[in-house]
Amino acid sequence: MTEKGGVRVGRGVRGGRGAGWGLRALVALVLAAFALAACTPTGPAEPPTTPPEETTDPSQSPSESATAQPLPWGPTEAEVEAAIATASAMSPEQVAGQVILARYPGTDPAAAADQLSQYHLGGLVLFGENVGSLDQVVATSEAIQAAQSELDRSWPAIFAVDNEGGLVQRLSAETGPWTSFPDFMAAGAANDAEVTHDAAQAMAIELRASGLNFDFAPVADVTIGADDAAIGTRSAGDDPERVAATVSAAVDGFTDGGVISSLKHFPGHGSLTVDSHESLPEQTASARELTRRDLVPFQAGIDAGAATVMMGHIAVDAWDEDLPASLSPAAYQHLREDLGFTGVAITDGLDMGALTNSYGPDEIAVMALDAGADLLLGPTDVGAAHQGIVDALEDGSLDRDRVDEAAGRVIAMMRWQAQAGEATGPVDPDESSFGAAASLALSRAAITQVAGECGGVLAGPRVHVRGGSTQDWDAFVAAAEAGGLEVVPLEEDADSDIRLVTAETPETGSDVAIALDGPWLLRGAGNPVQLAAFGHTAGTFEAAVDVLTGEADAPGTLPVQVRGLPASSC
């Protein structure tokens, strides 16, 4: 094993934008080899057997499937058609479950497996309350996949997680041996495709080492900054083109790590001042404005090969002012026809206030599928959602072909993920903490200086440290002392006063201000030295200390415009 920048060369195909196509080509070659072997008879053929939840398409030969041009997200059209045929042989109960991705209770692997089996689910999603330890998460994955096999399904069950970095990261240093990554806005500040790719690939390797195969990332929203109700530093920035380039690099990284990625939250939540977790936001921008701003990163991520797009609970006046995009046929039509997306359309969580304030879980499930969704995320009542789909299929109010199409896309995606995972090579639970170097590299590339003389010593050698949470203070002090600064009590004299600026601990006057959250927190601060750091990780603090001591430059630029601040003072 060799390393470069903390990420192993040879773990998939490395190299920034477009690298995911290298992995797809590798998988295609592997499948072609299998197809050639399959075309050479070695003896009398045995009659095929078809398990209850699987079938084959007799019109599709292995060689045709192997040599056809892959779709941008992985499988060929023939493979998708074969998967739809598999879905069409399922019972209503089986196919209804295949399009649901549900939450599950607690940390008991058996409970997760039971949830999957009871409703024939397409998969499960892990949240913080489902994390006890690395061994427990791995055991849960093994139990889920064993239950999938017992359902006579030859493709993996989805085991998904929200791991964006920053505030939204279920598997992090706070919950186990995993690496904490900075906010995705750090990638926008770095504006470096290779660094962003490597961070996403490292995170993907950690997830696969823990038994997960699907990550709800990257965020493709274009933020408006401080007034953004739900996204903020989860976004790569306010410039559509910069966000697009960052999203593309991240998609490539996830692909090269063997994990399915998901662009969210279509058609863009970053310009809204209402949080869809609470109620339904309204997007009043014209179709032209959406195309020129919010949709640019989604188009880039689709072109880069993202397998899924998450539909936001956002009422778009230009398309359908009465329904959120997640329930709007017009929104799915725009995604498919105008952006050319052929992969899996997944809803945002169906337990969010934008939907539950108006509809029941059975209504939501049927409406979303009828509109064009392929995978339903997190119904409030899985049993009710499942039964609602079954009832609608049986009374004809939900078209069976539409549900087969949805389930088939999910099956094709998971067959492809299994092949891609094999192509990238095996992973081991020991690799669950693989990403520290990539996280540090991202923080080093992101740190941005917007005030103060560049290139020299900015603080110390004796410093006071104020602000931030207790965890922030402890982590910064550890990094400061490791970097040669002496942190002294506030009652003692110091050469510099350093303030860790967060929404909870705003700037109150200091020599050095370091914004750990959005850079807009520095607006009007007037400190002699100001840094934007975009995170709370060990790497964030190490990178900041190296700039303060003159050991490193601050190469980042602000990915959002902040009134009164330059993009960089260096």
The residues assigned a catalytic role are: 277, 348
Q: Burial level of 154, CB count in 10 A (0-12/13-18/19+)?
A: middle
Beta-sheet strands, E only, within 197-261: 214-215
Helix 400-424 to helix 77-88 angle, to the nearest 10 degrees?
A: 130
> Is residue 147 classed exposed, middle or buried when 0-12, 13-18 and 19+ CB atoms within 10 A define those classes?
buried
Query: How is residue 261 annotated by DSSP?
Result: -
CA dist., res. 192 & res. 16, Å (int) = 9
Distance of CA 460 to the CA centre of its chain: 39
Rg for the chain (alpha carbons), in Å?
24
275, with CB counted inside 10 A (0-12, 13-18, 19+), is middle
DSSP classification of residue 129: G
The residues near 278 (Cβ < 8 Å, ≥ 6 apart) are: 353, 354
Neighbours of 214 (CB within 10 A): 28
Distances 97 to 80, 115, 146, 219, 395 between C-alpha atoms, Å: 19, 11, 17, 27, 18
| 288 Cβ contact list (under 8 Å, min separation 6) | none
**CA angle at residue 548 from 542 to 552, to 5 degrees?**
70
Element (H, E) at 354: helix 353-356
525's CB contacts (< 8 A; 6+ apart) are: 501, 507, 513
Cα–Cα distance measured from residue 66 to residue 410, given in angstroms and rounded to the nearest whole number: 19
Strand, coil or helix: 90: coil
Gap between the Cα atoms of 541 and 478, Å rounded: 9
